[in-house]
Structure 1
Amino acid sequence: MTNSFKDKLGQGGFGVVYKGKLNDCPVAVKILSRSKGNGEEFINEVASITRTSHVNVVTLLGFCFEGGEKALIYEFMSNGSLDKFIYDKGSETNVYLSWDNLHQIAKGIACGLEYLHKGCTTRILHFDIKPHNILLDDNFCPKISDFGLAKLCLRKESIISMSDARGTMGYAAPELWNRNFGGVSYKSDVYSYGMMLLEMVGGRKNINPDASRTSELYFPHWVYSRLELGSDLRPDGIMDTEEDEIARRMIIVGLWCIQTFPNDRPTMSKVIEMLEVSMNSLKIPPKPLLSSPIRSVPESPKS
């Protein structure tokens, strides 16, 4: 199936992903590390994704659990993950995503998250939404992947109990590392989505440890000040009026999503609506009160 594991697509803490073939169709085979705990991430992934069926959620074609070996077989996404298109554009690919592409991708991810939160019989909280976990097919249709940190809960449960913090540095919501900010819920995914949206517009990670000035260290604060001043949101690129409107819309929605307290964040249904309404209908959100912790939450593996 994997041609002796010759074509490696990626590697992370949870395992290695190879390109393979199943019935002459290309697939992605994720081989999970044998050393990783008691297989919780494998069980999470299978239990979560087998309950889904949505155009913006990656399709699990099969899995194998034999002895200590664990493997997941997914549909193959020819354009890889979103991160390579928004960081250091052009370094890994010659394809540049237009602002309309980015807007459509943002809406697609929002639709996928809305489905996970309210479209399934059992609500699925992903807990690791980030560009690396968004895969793109031939037509750049986005698909949410990597459910290793996901948690299932009843739809009527608004707040869930968790014994451990989970997520990736820069994307984990404040309540995941300090319960004083509020309870953990689907709004934690909304926060991660908002951070990703800001990165899609800014073309950089939301925390820049190499920034020359403290004000540039945390991207949401930097972009909020530019939004207030009406300054260019992408000083490194020339944008026409329509592109500037798309960028500002995505920034405003992103800033609403990363509000410090969960109750101040919109639902994903509201996010979809905000991404489609006229700019005049969008209100500027309050400035985020704090930056994401740099070392408080263990970074999840990039698998």
Structure 2
Amino acid sequence: MIEARVRIAHTCSAYEHSTADPIMALLRPGESGSAGATAQPGAVSAKRDGLQHRFHHQRQFRVHAGLRLPSRTETAQLPSNAGHARGGRDGVFAERGFEQTIVSPQGGRSPLEPRSLKFPAYDKTAKAWRADPERMALLENTAAPDEIDPADFDAIYFTGGHAVMYDFPDSEGLQRITREIFERGGIVSSVCHGYCGLLNTTLSDGSHLVAGRKVTGFAWREEVLARVDKLVPYNAEEEMKKRGALYEKAKLPFVSYAVADGNLVTGQNPGSAKKTAKKVADLL
């Protein structure tokens, strides 16, 4: 019998916080918002500096990025039964025996988000993760994009958190990995704000990967309800539409919703993580 090996790349943000406290309490998805569609396609970071300053001084936010387990730029959140990592090492992907690798835009250490160590995120799964030295060691040295050979992976999974809105869109390294996996038939997936990592990814013919394809991700209405619409750097939902994506969302905010369009799989919000992971696993 031949045993097939499936490898998934999980991406986490590598965003550095300009704060005296090295471990900053970041906002969980659903706790931050944005300043509207201020950016144009290919330039979503136009007002990055000013809005970034507001984030630091008005609210602390979490940096969870996308491809694998706990992934937050400057901070990683432990996998939880209710969080983005449901597709991670202790969730759907682990149950299927998939090999997973944590990647961040810059590589290196991914500190824990203090809020992930409190109720309700700090559940049985998260506690087990934190108690395992081998698993915690994975966060000390995340891989950088240039260390990843897309040919070795079957899928890429962008996790969420508001910090990824800053360093995911313009990461050429993540774009390269995503493009190569997608064009050879591998799975490209994201959940919540993770879809910001797909905003500027183009295919070999120059077209946007999301153009003409069904996509979902954290909705603008959810940003408003989370009272962070004045803080986020841009309206991700609108930016997706500008790039030709066929954006979809659940009828009610914060309801689990995921959509698959060929080998592109996306989930709307934190509560959609498990459903998204299952869709990815079924395709693999």
Same fold at TM > 0.5: no
Give the structure with the larger strand fraction. 1
More RCO (CA 8 Å, sep 6+): 2
Could you tell me the TM-score, scaled by structure 2's length? 0.29
Specify the structure having the higher radius of gyration (Cα).
Answer: 1
